[in-house]
Amino acid sequence: MTGPGPAGEGLWRDLAPQTLARLLRTYGSSQFDLCEDAVQEALLDAHVRWATDPPDDPQAWLATTARRRYADRVRSDKRRRDREGRVALLEEPLRHEGVPSDDALLLLELCCHPALSRSAQVALTLRAVAGLTTEQIANAYQLPEATIAQRITRAKRRVAELGGGFTRPGDVAERLAPVLDVLYVMFTEAHHTTRGAPAQNTDLAREAIHLARLLREAAPDSTEVAGLLALMLLTEARHPARVGPHGRLVPLDEQDRSLWDRAMVDEGLALLDHVVPGAEAGPYLLQACIAGVHAHAPSTETTDWDEIHALYTVLEHRTAGRNPMISLNRVVALGMVQGPDDALAALDALEADHPRLGRVDAVRAHLLERAGRADDAAAAYRRAIVATVNVAEQRHLQDRLRALGIPPPDRGTEDP
Protein backbone atom coordinates (compact mmCIF):
# COMPACT_ATOMS: atom_id res chain seq x y z
CA MET A 1 0.00 0.00 0.00
CA THR A 2 1.31 3.41 -0.89
CA GLY A 3 0.46 6.56 0.95
CA PRO A 4 -0.15 10.05 -0.38
CA GLY A 5 2.04 11.47 -3.09
CA PRO A 6 3.02 10.57 -6.64
CA ALA A 7 3.54 6.89 -5.87
CA GLY A 8 -0.06 6.55 -4.75
CA GLU A 9 -1.79 8.71 -7.34
CA GLY A 10 -2.78 5.71 -9.47
CA LEU A 11 -4.39 4.07 -6.44
CA TRP A 12 -6.42 7.17 -5.59
CA ARG A 13 -7.53 7.52 -9.21
CA ASP A 14 -8.76 3.91 -9.26
CA LEU A 15 -10.50 4.02 -5.88
CA ALA A 16 -12.31 7.37 -6.12
CA PRO A 17 -14.71 6.63 -9.02
CA GLN A 18 -15.31 3.08 -7.77
CA THR A 19 -16.30 4.41 -4.34
CA LEU A 20 -18.48 7.19 -5.78
CA ALA A 21 -20.24 4.63 -7.96
CA ARG A 22 -20.95 2.43 -4.93
CA LEU A 23 -22.51 5.30 -3.04
CA LEU A 24 -24.62 6.37 -5.99
CA ARG A 25 -25.84 2.82 -6.50
CA THR A 26 -26.82 2.70 -2.85
CA TYR A 27 -28.39 6.12 -2.34
CA GLY A 28 -29.39 7.15 -5.88
CA SER A 29 -28.19 9.70 -8.41
CA SER A 30 -30.31 12.41 -6.75
CA GLN A 31 -27.64 12.41 -4.03
CA PHE A 32 -24.76 13.10 -6.43
CA ASP A 33 -23.43 16.18 -4.62
CA LEU A 34 -23.56 14.62 -1.17
CA CYS A 35 -22.00 11.38 -2.37
CA GLU A 36 -19.17 13.21 -4.13
CA ASP A 37 -18.47 15.32 -1.04
CA ALA A 38 -18.48 12.21 1.13
CA VAL A 39 -15.95 10.48 -1.12
CA GLN A 40 -13.67 13.53 -1.09
CA GLU A 41 -13.77 13.63 2.72
CA ALA A 42 -13.01 9.92 2.88
CA LEU A 43 -10.04 10.42 0.54
CA LEU A 44 -8.70 13.14 2.83
CA ASP A 45 -9.01 10.75 5.79
CA ALA A 46 -7.18 8.10 3.79
CA HIS A 47 -4.32 10.45 2.94
CA VAL A 48 -3.78 11.10 6.64
CA ARG A 49 -4.33 7.63 8.09
CA TRP A 50 -2.93 5.30 5.46
CA ALA A 51 0.53 6.80 5.71
CA THR A 52 0.98 5.12 9.10
CA ASP A 53 -1.84 2.56 9.19
CA PRO A 54 -2.64 1.19 5.71
CA PRO A 55 -5.77 -1.01 5.53
CA ASP A 56 -5.79 -4.58 4.23
CA ASP A 57 -8.65 -3.76 1.85
CA PRO A 58 -8.34 -0.12 0.68
CA GLN A 59 -11.57 -0.17 -1.37
CA ALA A 60 -13.68 -1.52 1.50
CA TRP A 61 -12.13 0.96 3.95
CA LEU A 62 -12.80 3.89 1.65
CA ALA A 63 -16.37 2.80 0.89
CA THR A 64 -17.18 2.35 4.57
CA THR A 65 -15.66 5.71 5.51
CA ALA A 66 -17.48 7.46 2.65
CA ARG A 67 -20.82 5.97 3.76
CA ARG A 68 -20.20 7.27 7.28
CA ARG A 69 -19.34 10.70 5.94
CA TYR A 70 -22.48 10.63 3.79
CA ALA A 71 -24.59 9.70 6.82
CA ASP A 72 -23.04 12.50 8.86
CA ARG A 73 -23.83 15.01 6.12
CA VAL A 74 -27.43 13.88 5.76
CA ARG A 75 -28.09 13.99 9.50
CA SER A 76 -26.61 17.48 9.82
CA ASP A 77 -28.45 18.93 6.82
CA LYS A 78 -31.25 20.62 8.72
CA ARG A 79 -31.75 23.42 6.24
CA ARG A 80 -32.94 21.24 3.39
CA ARG A 81 -36.68 20.57 3.10
CA ASP A 82 -36.06 17.05 1.85
CA ARG A 83 -33.99 16.05 4.90
CA GLU A 84 -36.47 13.39 5.98
CA GLY A 85 -36.40 11.82 2.53
CA ARG A 86 -32.65 11.53 2.65
CA VAL A 87 -32.72 9.93 6.09
CA ALA A 88 -35.22 7.44 4.72
CA LEU A 89 -32.76 6.61 1.96
CA LEU A 90 -30.20 5.78 4.62
CA GLU A 91 -32.58 3.32 6.21
CA GLU A 92 -33.86 1.81 2.96
CA PRO A 93 -31.24 2.06 0.19
CA LEU A 94 -32.15 1.71 -3.47
CA ARG A 95 -31.93 -1.88 -4.68
CA HIS A 96 -30.80 -3.01 -8.11
CA GLU A 97 -30.41 -6.39 -9.68
CA GLY A 98 -26.96 -7.54 -10.64
CA VAL A 99 -23.56 -5.98 -10.03
CA PRO A 100 -21.85 -3.91 -12.74
CA SER A 101 -18.66 -5.30 -14.21
CA ASP A 102 -16.87 -2.00 -13.71
CA ASP A 103 -18.13 0.83 -11.52
CA ALA A 104 -16.07 3.46 -13.33
CA LEU A 105 -17.74 2.69 -16.66
CA LEU A 106 -21.15 2.67 -14.99
CA LEU A 107 -20.40 6.05 -13.39
CA LEU A 108 -19.32 7.34 -16.80
CA GLU A 109 -22.62 6.25 -18.32
CA LEU A 110 -24.57 7.98 -15.54
CA CYS A 111 -22.71 11.24 -16.10
CA CYS A 112 -23.52 10.97 -19.81
CA HIS A 113 -27.27 10.91 -19.12
CA PRO A 114 -29.17 12.04 -22.26
CA ALA A 115 -31.04 14.69 -20.25
CA LEU A 116 -27.75 16.59 -19.89
CA SER A 117 -26.31 18.74 -22.65
CA ARG A 118 -23.21 17.41 -24.39
CA SER A 119 -21.00 20.04 -22.77
CA ALA A 120 -22.42 19.19 -19.33
CA GLN A 121 -21.94 15.46 -19.89
CA VAL A 122 -18.31 15.87 -20.77
CA ALA A 123 -17.47 18.34 -17.99
CA LEU A 124 -19.21 16.31 -15.27
CA THR A 125 -17.64 13.02 -16.34
CA LEU A 126 -14.15 14.45 -16.54
CA ARG A 127 -14.59 15.75 -13.01
CA ALA A 128 -16.27 12.73 -11.42
CA VAL A 129 -14.71 9.82 -13.32
CA ALA A 130 -11.33 11.10 -14.46
CA GLY A 131 -10.75 13.30 -11.44
CA LEU A 132 -9.56 16.21 -13.58
CA THR A 133 -9.50 19.65 -12.03
CA THR A 134 -11.56 22.52 -13.39
CA GLU A 135 -8.33 24.04 -14.72
CA GLN A 136 -7.45 20.85 -16.62
CA ILE A 137 -10.89 20.60 -18.21
CA ALA A 138 -10.84 24.28 -19.13
CA ASN A 139 -7.42 23.83 -20.71
CA ALA A 140 -8.60 20.87 -22.78
CA TYR A 141 -11.48 22.91 -24.20
CA GLN A 142 -9.70 26.28 -24.29
CA LEU A 143 -12.45 27.85 -22.18
CA PRO A 144 -12.41 30.01 -19.01
CA GLU A 145 -12.36 28.08 -15.73
CA ALA A 146 -15.49 29.91 -14.57
CA THR A 147 -17.41 28.58 -17.57
CA ILE A 148 -16.39 24.99 -16.82
CA ALA A 149 -17.17 25.40 -13.11
CA GLN A 150 -20.69 26.58 -13.98
CA ARG A 151 -21.21 23.61 -16.31
CA ILE A 152 -20.19 21.14 -13.61
CA THR A 153 -22.41 22.75 -10.98
CA ARG A 154 -25.44 22.82 -13.30
CA ALA A 155 -24.81 19.23 -14.42
CA LYS A 156 -24.73 17.93 -10.84
CA ARG A 157 -27.89 19.86 -10.06
CA ARG A 158 -29.61 18.35 -13.10
CA VAL A 159 -28.54 14.81 -12.17
CA ALA A 160 -29.97 15.37 -8.70
CA GLU A 161 -33.25 16.61 -10.20
CA LEU A 162 -33.49 13.50 -12.37
CA GLY A 163 -33.26 11.26 -9.32
CA GLY A 164 -34.00 7.59 -9.80
CA GLY A 165 -31.70 4.63 -9.66
CA PHE A 166 -28.15 4.22 -10.78
CA THR A 167 -28.73 1.98 -13.77
CA ARG A 168 -27.21 1.35 -17.16
CA PRO A 169 -28.94 2.72 -20.27
CA GLY A 170 -31.06 0.23 -22.16
CA ASP A 171 -28.91 0.62 -25.30
CA VAL A 172 -25.19 1.37 -25.10
CA ALA A 173 -25.47 3.41 -28.30
CA GLU A 174 -27.76 5.84 -26.45
CA ARG A 175 -24.78 7.45 -24.73
CA LEU A 176 -21.94 6.33 -26.95
CA ALA A 177 -21.04 9.69 -28.51
CA PRO A 178 -20.51 11.64 -25.26
CA VAL A 179 -18.71 8.68 -23.66
CA LEU A 180 -16.27 8.62 -26.59
CA ASP A 181 -15.75 12.37 -26.29
CA VAL A 182 -15.01 12.06 -22.58
CA LEU A 183 -12.50 9.24 -23.04
CA TYR A 184 -10.77 11.18 -25.80
CA VAL A 185 -10.37 14.28 -23.62
CA MET A 186 -9.14 12.10 -20.74
CA PHE A 187 -6.47 10.61 -22.95
CA THR A 188 -5.53 13.97 -24.47
CA GLU A 189 -5.04 15.48 -21.03
CA ALA A 190 -2.93 12.46 -20.04
CA HIS A 191 -0.52 13.15 -22.92
CA HIS A 192 -0.61 16.96 -22.75
CA THR A 193 -1.03 17.65 -19.04
CA THR A 194 -2.16 21.17 -18.24
CA ARG A 195 0.98 22.04 -16.31
CA GLY A 196 3.27 19.57 -18.04
CA ALA A 197 4.78 18.32 -14.80
CA PRO A 198 4.98 15.42 -15.30
CA ALA A 199 4.93 15.53 -19.09
CA GLN A 200 2.47 12.61 -19.13
CA ASN A 201 -0.08 11.43 -16.57
CA THR A 202 0.49 7.70 -16.92
CA ASP A 203 -2.30 6.74 -14.53
CA LEU A 204 -4.87 8.79 -16.42
CA ALA A 205 -3.76 7.33 -19.76
CA ARG A 206 -4.00 3.81 -18.39
CA GLU A 207 -7.49 4.44 -17.00
CA ALA A 208 -8.69 5.89 -20.32
CA ILE A 209 -7.43 2.80 -22.18
CA HIS A 210 -9.03 0.53 -19.59
CA LEU A 211 -12.41 2.23 -20.03
CA ALA A 212 -12.04 2.15 -23.82
CA ARG A 213 -11.48 -1.62 -23.65
CA LEU A 214 -14.63 -2.01 -21.54
CA LEU A 215 -16.56 0.11 -24.00
CA ARG A 216 -15.26 -2.02 -26.87
CA GLU A 217 -16.65 -5.10 -25.11
CA ALA A 218 -19.99 -3.36 -24.64
CA ALA A 219 -20.18 -2.07 -28.23
CA PRO A 220 -18.16 -4.53 -30.37
CA ASP A 221 -19.78 -3.39 -33.63
CA SER A 222 -18.88 0.29 -33.24
CA THR A 223 -16.04 1.28 -35.55
CA GLU A 224 -15.63 4.55 -33.64
CA VAL A 225 -15.06 2.72 -30.36
CA ALA A 226 -12.52 0.51 -32.10
CA GLY A 227 -10.95 3.58 -33.68
CA LEU A 228 -10.59 5.38 -30.36
CA LEU A 229 -9.04 2.33 -28.71
CA ALA A 230 -6.61 1.89 -31.62
CA LEU A 231 -5.71 5.59 -31.44
CA MET A 232 -5.00 5.30 -27.73
CA LEU A 233 -2.86 2.19 -28.16
CA LEU A 234 -0.80 3.61 -31.03
CA THR A 235 -0.28 6.90 -29.17
CA GLU A 236 0.55 5.32 -25.82
CA ALA A 237 3.03 3.00 -27.55
CA ARG A 238 5.26 6.02 -28.23
CA HIS A 239 5.51 7.02 -24.58
CA PRO A 240 8.87 5.32 -23.83
CA ALA A 241 10.46 7.38 -26.63
CA ARG A 242 8.44 10.57 -26.12
CA VAL A 243 9.88 11.57 -22.75
CA GLY A 244 13.65 11.83 -22.48
CA PRO A 245 16.03 12.53 -19.57
CA HIS A 246 14.75 14.90 -16.89
CA GLY A 247 11.23 14.73 -18.35
CA ARG A 248 12.19 16.45 -21.60
CA LEU A 249 9.71 16.07 -24.45
CA VAL A 250 11.10 14.36 -27.55
CA PRO A 251 9.18 15.29 -30.73
CA LEU A 252 8.05 12.54 -33.07
CA ASP A 253 10.73 13.24 -35.69
CA GLU A 254 13.49 12.82 -33.07
CA GLN A 255 12.14 9.73 -31.30
CA ASP A 256 14.00 6.43 -31.23
CA ARG A 257 11.24 4.27 -32.68
CA SER A 258 12.89 1.10 -31.47
CA LEU A 259 11.73 2.19 -27.99
CA TRP A 260 8.08 2.17 -28.99
CA ASP A 261 5.99 -0.50 -27.25
CA ARG A 262 5.77 -3.05 -30.06
CA ALA A 263 2.96 -5.03 -28.43
CA MET A 264 0.76 -1.92 -28.28
CA VAL A 265 1.64 -0.96 -31.85
CA ASP A 266 0.78 -4.45 -33.11
CA GLU A 267 -2.51 -4.50 -31.19
CA GLY A 268 -3.50 -1.08 -32.52
CA LEU A 269 -2.63 -1.94 -36.13
CA ALA A 270 -4.43 -5.29 -35.91
CA LEU A 271 -7.53 -3.51 -34.64
CA LEU A 272 -7.40 -1.13 -37.61
CA ASP A 273 -6.92 -4.02 -40.04
CA HIS A 274 -10.03 -5.62 -38.55
CA VAL A 275 -12.40 -2.63 -38.66
CA VAL A 276 -11.24 -0.32 -41.47
CA PRO A 277 -12.27 -2.41 -44.52
CA GLY A 278 -15.76 -1.29 -45.50
CA ALA A 279 -16.13 1.04 -42.50
CA GLU A 280 -17.62 4.52 -42.70
CA ALA A 281 -14.74 6.46 -41.21
CA GLY A 282 -15.69 8.65 -38.27
CA PRO A 283 -13.40 11.16 -36.52
CA TYR A 284 -11.80 8.69 -34.11
CA LEU A 285 -11.19 6.03 -36.73
CA LEU A 286 -9.62 8.64 -39.03
CA GLN A 287 -7.28 9.80 -36.29
CA ALA A 288 -6.36 6.20 -35.59
CA CYS A 289 -5.55 5.71 -39.28
CA ILE A 290 -3.22 8.73 -39.11
CA ALA A 291 -1.48 7.22 -36.08
CA GLY A 292 -1.29 3.96 -38.01
CA VAL A 293 0.57 5.63 -40.90
CA HIS A 294 3.13 6.94 -38.41
CA ALA A 295 3.40 3.51 -36.80
CA HIS A 296 4.15 1.82 -40.13
CA ALA A 297 6.98 4.23 -41.00
CA PRO A 298 10.52 3.53 -39.73
CA SER A 299 11.36 7.27 -39.74
CA THR A 300 9.94 10.73 -40.36
CA GLU A 301 11.60 10.85 -43.77
CA THR A 302 9.93 7.63 -44.93
CA THR A 303 6.48 8.58 -43.56
CA ASP A 304 3.71 8.80 -46.16
CA TRP A 305 2.96 12.48 -45.56
CA ASP A 306 0.68 12.67 -48.60
CA GLU A 307 -1.56 10.06 -46.96
CA ILE A 308 -1.47 11.85 -43.62
CA HIS A 309 -2.35 15.18 -45.22
CA ALA A 310 -5.21 13.54 -47.12
CA LEU A 311 -6.53 11.93 -43.92
CA TYR A 312 -6.39 15.24 -42.05
CA THR A 313 -8.25 16.92 -44.90
CA VAL A 314 -11.00 14.29 -44.71
CA LEU A 315 -11.05 14.58 -40.92
CA GLU A 316 -11.34 18.37 -41.13
CA HIS A 317 -14.28 18.00 -43.50
CA ARG A 318 -15.84 15.23 -41.40
CA THR A 319 -15.81 17.45 -38.30
CA ALA A 320 -17.03 20.51 -40.29
CA GLY A 321 -14.04 22.53 -39.11
CA ARG A 322 -15.31 22.55 -35.51
CA ASN A 323 -11.94 21.50 -34.10
CA PRO A 324 -9.21 24.00 -35.07
CA MET A 325 -6.52 21.71 -33.61
CA ILE A 326 -7.28 19.28 -36.45
CA SER A 327 -6.74 22.12 -38.90
CA LEU A 328 -3.47 22.98 -37.16
CA ASN A 329 -2.25 19.40 -37.55
CA ARG A 330 -3.27 19.50 -41.22
CA VAL A 331 -1.10 22.60 -41.65
CA VAL A 332 1.87 20.72 -40.18
CA ALA A 333 1.27 17.86 -42.63
CA LEU A 334 0.93 20.37 -45.46
CA GLY A 335 4.35 21.70 -44.58
CA MET A 336 5.81 18.22 -44.96
CA VAL A 337 4.12 17.76 -48.34
CA GLN A 338 4.39 21.20 -50.00
CA GLY A 339 7.03 22.94 -47.94
CA PRO A 340 7.02 25.50 -45.10
CA ASP A 341 6.01 28.54 -47.21
CA ASP A 342 2.63 27.09 -48.23
CA ALA A 343 2.09 25.90 -44.66
CA LEU A 344 2.85 29.36 -43.26
CA ALA A 345 0.25 30.90 -45.57
CA ALA A 346 -2.31 28.34 -44.42
CA LEU A 347 -1.35 29.02 -40.79
CA ASP A 348 -1.99 32.74 -41.24
CA ALA A 349 -5.49 31.99 -42.55
CA LEU A 350 -6.17 29.60 -39.66
CA GLU A 351 -5.01 32.13 -37.08
CA ALA A 352 -7.23 34.79 -38.62
CA ASP A 353 -10.24 32.53 -38.05
CA HIS A 354 -9.09 31.38 -34.58
CA PRO A 355 -7.01 34.17 -32.99
CA ARG A 356 -6.89 32.46 -29.57
CA LEU A 357 -5.86 29.04 -30.83
CA GLY A 358 -3.06 27.55 -28.75
CA ARG A 359 0.25 26.28 -30.16
CA VAL A 360 0.02 28.47 -33.28
CA ASP A 361 3.30 30.23 -32.47
CA ALA A 362 5.02 26.91 -31.73
CA VAL A 363 4.00 25.58 -35.14
CA ARG A 364 4.92 28.87 -36.80
CA ALA A 365 8.36 28.79 -35.20
CA HIS A 366 8.94 25.23 -36.45
CA LEU A 367 7.92 26.16 -40.00
CA LEU A 368 10.02 29.35 -39.98
CA GLU A 369 13.01 27.38 -38.77
CA ARG A 370 12.55 24.90 -41.63
CA ALA A 371 12.29 27.81 -44.05
CA GLY A 372 15.68 29.10 -42.87
CA ARG A 373 14.24 32.26 -41.30
CA ALA A 374 16.10 31.98 -37.99
CA ASP A 375 15.33 35.47 -36.62
CA ASP A 376 11.60 35.15 -37.31
CA ALA A 377 11.63 31.63 -35.87
CA ALA A 378 13.30 32.89 -32.69
CA ALA A 379 10.67 35.58 -32.24
CA ALA A 380 7.90 33.00 -32.68
CA TYR A 381 9.58 30.65 -30.19
CA ARG A 382 9.74 33.47 -27.62
CA ARG A 383 6.02 34.19 -28.06
CA ALA A 384 5.20 30.49 -27.76
CA ILE A 385 7.25 30.12 -24.56
CA VAL A 386 5.48 33.07 -22.94
CA ALA A 387 2.04 31.83 -24.04
CA THR A 388 2.23 28.28 -22.70
CA VAL A 389 1.79 27.23 -19.07
CA ASN A 390 2.85 23.66 -19.81
CA VAL A 391 6.27 23.22 -18.22
CA ALA A 392 7.34 20.33 -20.47
CA GLU A 393 6.38 22.23 -23.62
CA GLN A 394 8.13 25.35 -22.34
CA ARG A 395 11.35 23.42 -21.88
CA HIS A 396 11.11 21.88 -25.33
CA LEU A 397 10.58 25.32 -26.91
CA GLN A 398 13.47 26.73 -24.88
CA ASP A 399 15.70 23.95 -26.20
CA ARG A 400 14.68 24.80 -29.78
CA LEU A 401 15.47 28.46 -29.13
CA ARG A 402 18.87 27.58 -27.70
CA ALA A 403 19.57 25.50 -30.81
CA LEU A 404 19.27 28.75 -32.76
CA GLY A 405 21.92 30.26 -30.50
CA ILE A 406 19.49 32.50 -28.63
CA PRO A 407 18.80 32.40 -24.85
CA PRO A 408 15.13 31.89 -23.93
CA PRO A 409 13.08 34.56 -22.12
CA ASP A 410 13.14 34.43 -18.32
CA ARG A 411 9.86 32.89 -17.16
CA GLY A 412 11.13 31.06 -14.14
CA THR A 413 10.96 27.74 -15.94
CA GLU A 414 14.68 27.31 -16.53
CA ASP A 415 16.44 24.30 -15.13
CA PRO A 416 18.62 25.12 -12.15
Determine the Cα–Cα distance for residues 325 and 316; give it in Å rounded to an integer.
10
What residues of the chain score a pLDDT lower than 70? 1-13, 29-30, 75-104, 140, 142, 163-174, 193-201, 410-416
Amino acid 12: pLDDT:
65
Burial of 115 (0-12, 13-18, 19+ CB in 10 A): exposed
Give the three-state DSSP class for 249.
Answer: strand
CB 73 within 8 A of CB 38: yes
Amino acid 382: pLDDT:
94
Amino acid 265: pLDDT:
96
Amino acid 200: pLDDT:
64
- Distance set, CA 284 to CA 228, 308, 359 (Å): 5, 14, 22
CB 285 within 8 A of CB 276: yes
Amino acid 15: pLDDT:
81
Amino acid 223 reads T
Amino acid 18: pLDDT:
81
| CB neighbours of residue 311 within 10 Å | 23
Q: What is the pLDDT of residues 236-245, one digit of tens each?
A: 999 889 888 7
Q: Is the Cα dihedral 195, 200, 201, 207 positive or negative?
A: positive
Amino acid 163: pLDDT:
64
Q: What is the pLDDT of residues 316-339, one digit of tens each?
A: 999 887 889 999 999 999 999 999
Amino acid 344: pLDDT:
97
Amino acid 295: pLDDT:
96
